[in-house]
Amino acid sequence: MYASILEERKDQIHRIGAEPFKIACDRDSLAGAVSQRACVFCGARVVLYPIADAVHLVHGPIGCAAYTWDIRGSLSSGPELHRLSFSTDLQERDIIFGGEKKLEAALEELIDRHKPNAAFVYSTCIVGIIGDDIGAVCKRMQEKKGIPVLAVQSEGFKGNKRDGYTAACSALFALAGQADASDVPEISVNVLGDFNLAGETWIIKEYMQRLGVHVVASITGDGRVADVQRCHAASLNLVQCSGSTLELAKMLKEKYGKPYLRVSWNGIEDMAESLYAVAEHFQALDPEIMNRTAELVRTELEALMPKIAPLRRDLEGKRAAIYVGGAFKAFSLIKAFRHLGMRVVLVGSQTGTEEDYRELAAICDQGAVVIDDANPLELSGFIKELDVDVFVGGVKERPIAFKLGVGFCDHNHERKIALEGFVGMYNFAKEIHASVMSPVWKFVPRRANRSNSKES
């Protein structure tokens, strides 16, 4: 009965060149197929987690809070409330009699104890079933405590991760406009969809400073409630990370008329293009900005390219696979690999759209595979068939790569190495090089068997 690609999954996989482009996506995961996806709660938690001066209270049994306790590399320059894992730890009697009282008491206790600037209350699967009105509890506590207390409707089963992004964006949008922002300068942006993993937001903020652009709010990397409350006043929203915060940018545009740009801080071209796009936007107000941007890009590239060259010499011709949460990052990674002389032979994401996949197919080589909502068996099958040298993904993909004797680069939320910006491109190159060039691959069965067969 063993089959690595199920009939139901076949149209979610496209082989470039083998057929005209066609891919199915945005479907519910197939039951029993071991999807790499998570749930609505995960989407909401991922987006809001880095807000460091808020209490993030998970309303539900303990698992949802336990599995999201301090697992990400999101750094804060100040408070670190986000690194604590708060839960109502619902017990059987709460399920029977309702969890609202416990939630209210827990909120009161935590707000009194930590004096946060806001509280986010996440609903989990069970809350949606027992019918706790978390909105009403939040409203009461907001009035009582005088800080924003936001209900995040993130019952795990009510959709997929993207619905969680939407829930998070709604909560953020509720904060926007709550504070006076009359002093926000005209040349100003919000940095959306960057989570300050290993200090990446700080890299981008430093670039903005060199461009002469004021950052009102970083949402949510190194995030603060007061910044989000003023974010409506920024002239432009820079949106990275396809799924997670685009919706917030759209809401801000609709209500406050502020435009947004989709950007990527990964790789060389996309990083530079994103900076130029910002410069272009403010050019009329600041004629010098274009020169400063060109200067920044030139300085950074002059420092970067000589450092990449020796790494590229070793990596030339090696083959990479990419499987990430959102498709937008995959574009930047494909281009980044080109600078290392490498080819991407497999690319996929958990939540890409048809348009994303069409564009990915357009920039990959013939024979490469594009895949939506993959699972371990499919990924391992393709790793072997396409003879991948290094896999870029998250912790769930790592053991698949390692078990088969393939290099790996963590490009997910747990990473502790900054991969954004020009400096991040160097870190990326170093990390890929360190993995691909390790001598250990000589000894794994995959390679050992191959060299034996070559010799015979």
For the segment 374-413, give every residue that binds another protein (CB under 8 A): 375-377, 380-381, 383-384, 395-396, 398-400, 402-405
Tokens of 254: 């609709």
Which of 367/399 has CB closer to another protein? 399
Instruction: Give the 3-state secondary structure of residue 252.
Output: helix
Half-sphere exposure at residue 235, Cβ-oriented, CA atoms within 13 angstroms = 13
Annotate each residue in 284-323 with x if it binds another protein (CB under 8 A) or - if it does not, as one string. Answer: ----------------------------------------
Q: Figure out which of the listed residues 50, 51, 68, 271 binds another protein, where binding follows CB under 8 A.
A: 68
Instruction: Give the 3-state secondary structure of residue 364.
Output: coil
Q: At what angle do helices 134-145 and 100-114 cross, to 10 degrees?
A: 30
Identify which range of 22-30, 165-173, 239-247, 297-305 contacts another protein by CB under 8 A: 22-30
Q: Figure out which of the listed residues 140, 158, 292, 338 binds another protein, where binding follows CB under 8 A.
A: 158
Q: Is 417 in the site for another protein (CB under 8 A)?
A: no
Which of 22/403 has CB closer to another protein? 403
> What is the distance between the alpha carbons of residues 109 and 280, in angstroms, rounded to a whole number?
49
> What is the distance between the alpha carbons of residues 433 and 402, in angstroms, rounded to a whole number?
16
Alpha carbon separation from 303 to 49, 151, 364, 422 (Å, rounded):
34, 46, 28, 9
Looking at residues 113 to 132 of the shown chain, list those that interact with another protein (rule: CB under 8 A): 124-126, 128-130
Q: Figure out which of the listed residues 34, 285, 303, 309 binds another protein, where binding follows CB under 8 A.
A: 34
Q: Figure out which of the listed residues 66, 285, 309, 434 binds another protein, where binding follows CB under 8 A.
A: 66
Helices (H), 30-147: 40-48, 62-66, 92-97, 100-114, 125-130, 134-145
Provide, rounded to whole angstroms, the least separation between the CB of residue 30 and another protein.
Answer: 6
Task: Let me know if 146 is exposed, middle or buried by CB neighbors in 10 A (0-12, 13-18, 19+).
Answer: exposed
> What is the distance between the alpha carbons of residues 276 and 280, in angstroms, rounded to a whole number?
6
Q: Are 241 and 247 in contact (CB under 8 A)?
A: no
Identify which range of 143-151, 156-164, 214-222, 249-257 contacts another protein by CB under 8 A: 156-164
Provide, rounded to whole angstroms, the least separation between the CB of residue 168 and another protein.
Answer: 15
Q: Figure out which of the listed residues 13, 25, 36, 344 binds another protein, where binding follows CB under 8 A.
A: 36
Q: Is 349 in the site for another protein (CB under 8 A)?
A: no
Q: Are 404 and 446 in contact (CB under 8 A)?
A: yes
Provide, rounded to whole angstroms, the least separation between the CB of residue 21 and another protein.
Answer: 26
> Which of 118, 51, 121 is closest to 82 using CA atoms?
51
Which of 50/421 has CB closer to another protein? 50
Q: Figure out which of the listed residues 73, 116, 156, 199 binds another protein, where binding follows CB under 8 A.
A: 156
> What is the distance between the alpha carbons of residues 400 and 406, in angstroms, rounded to a whole number?
8
Provide, rounded to whole angstroms, the least separation between the CB of residue 300 and another protein.
Answer: 33
Q: Is 451 in the site for another protein (CB under 8 A)?
A: no
Which of 124/264 has CB closer to another protein? 124
DSSP one-letter code for 117: S
Which of 305/377 has CB closer to another protein? 377
